Amino acid sequence: MLSVLRNRAYRHLFTAQVVALLGTGLATVALSLLAYDMAGGHASAILGTALAIKMVAYVGVAPLVGACADRIPRRTLLVATDLTRAGVALTLPFVSQVWQIYTLIFLLQAASAAFTPVFQATVPEVLPAERDYTHALSMSRLAYDLESLLSPALAALLLTVVSYHWLFAGTTLGFLGSAALVVSAVLPRPTPAARTTSAYAKAASGARLFWADPRLRALLALDLAVAAAGAMVFVNTVVVVRGHFHEPAGAVSLALGAYGIGSIAAALWLPRLLARTGDRAVMLPAAYALPGVLVAVVATTLAPAGSWSWAGILLTWAAIGAASSAVLTPAGRLIRRCTATPDLPAAFAAQFSLSHGCWLLTYPLAGWLAAGAGVPVTAGVLGVIALGAAGVATVVWPGGAGPEHAAVGAGRAVIGASAKAR
């Protein structure tokens, strides 16, 4: 898997991703503690709303950026968004009102919504071979997982000597480092895509591709299952750790680190597993594991706080990380197989936007439901959503190679026909 790092352009891009994610992870911990300072047990409501605003930025900005990505130099766009994110992160330690958090989160995540689809579309052009790209997907998943593990660990270490406000400075440094690494990478020229009458029309072409292919429709259902379980982790960890178990601030990092350990373990195992089986055989069972784990979260949070229940939370968080990684890692393979190279930016932008629409539903639900009805009820409701989404994916995604390959051709035909019509 590490052989793909011999490619200089990918090595620089991957390192840029790791550095930026490390900074983002520090901001995640700091933002959770800032919300808890402001609202105590109602911190879930603040975090749920803030993360919903993040998803609004993702859903609204990503398709337009993907539609225009072939008209703007990749390096210029990536560096500009990194610098924007660095500037916003630098102001976060000085907020004193909840509305200020919401405003800055929107600006920060709008820049991220511009960065991520362009980055995702660049990787398959840098690594055109299927095997290399599969390894790159696992490396990318590993980068997210390392962030989930190393950022909380680094945050816990820093919190022993500084206040959590200083963690935002680490976020700024991460984005500046990412920009420097992107500048040093030699990126291929994007393949010109068919010109459309407007950016909105081209953005819609990516959504039409998802509608035409059953595997991609199933992928969106799987994204909803992951969003349901992930919202439980990212919104309610601080309330579970500080409110239910009465653990210190550093334990928030420990719980998030457990999620990262589970995700890393799955990412390291997946390339070999995917080589022997198909994407469907990996992704669907992992999706069904998520509601089962959320049932375990209900049982653990209903039990009195103690050493065994605290260990149970760490184990369930790790299981959510592993199952989520098994669903998300092969997603890029599906998109690549269903999309012609010139349309990759629009397709990845559509997936980015549509999948984050799922998080737009689950983030505020996890936050406001936990604040009003409690963590066990929230975990149960999210478990039902995850189970329903996994069931829809099973029905929509047909087994066997024949129907899937036929759907790929149909999806490309839809995009080709729409491009010719324009």
Rounded Cα distance, 69 and 132, in Å: 23
Containing structural domain, residue 216: 2-421
Query: Would you say 319 and 262 are in contact if contact means Cβ atoms under 8 Å apart?
Result: yes
- H-helix segments, 277-374: 279-302, 307-328, 331-338, 344-373
The count of domains in the chain is: 1
Query: Would you say 46 and 350 are in contact if contact means Cβ atoms under 8 Å apart?
Result: no
Q: Is the pLDDT of residue 381 over 90?
A: yes
The pLDDT tens digits for 19-46 are: 888 887 788 777 777 777 776 666 777 7
Q: Residue 134: CB partners within 8 Å, gap ≥ 6?
A: 271, 274, 333
The pLDDT tens digits for 218-265 are: 899 999 999 999 999 988 888 888 888 888 877 887 888 888 888 888
Q: Does the CA dihedral 20-21-27-30 come out positive or negative? A: negative
pLDDT band at 60 (very low <50, low <70, confident <90, very high): confident
Percent helix, strand, coil in the chain (nearest 5)? Answer: 90, 0, 10
Q: Is the pLDDT of residue 115 over 70?
A: yes
The pair of structure tokens assigned to 146 is 């390392």
Judged by average pLDDT, the poorest of 113-127, 130-144, 227-241 is 130-144
Rounded Cα distance, 151 and 205, in Å: 37
Judged by average pLDDT, the poorest of 154-168, 276-290, 297-311 is 154-168
On whether the pTM is more than 0.75, the answer is no
The pLDDT tens digits for 317-356 are: 999 999 998 998 888 777 777 766 666 666 776 777 788 7
Rounded Cα distance, 390 and 393, in Å: 5
Rounded Cα distance, 309 and 362, in Å: 25
* Three-class DSSP labels, 42-66: HHHHHHHHHHHHHHHHHHHHHHHHH
Give the whole-number percent of the chain exceeding pLDDT 70. 80
- Given phi > 0 = left and psi -120 to 50 = alpha, else beta, which region is 97? beta
* Mean pLDDT for all residues in the chain: 78
- CATH code of the domain covering residue 99: 1.20.1250.20
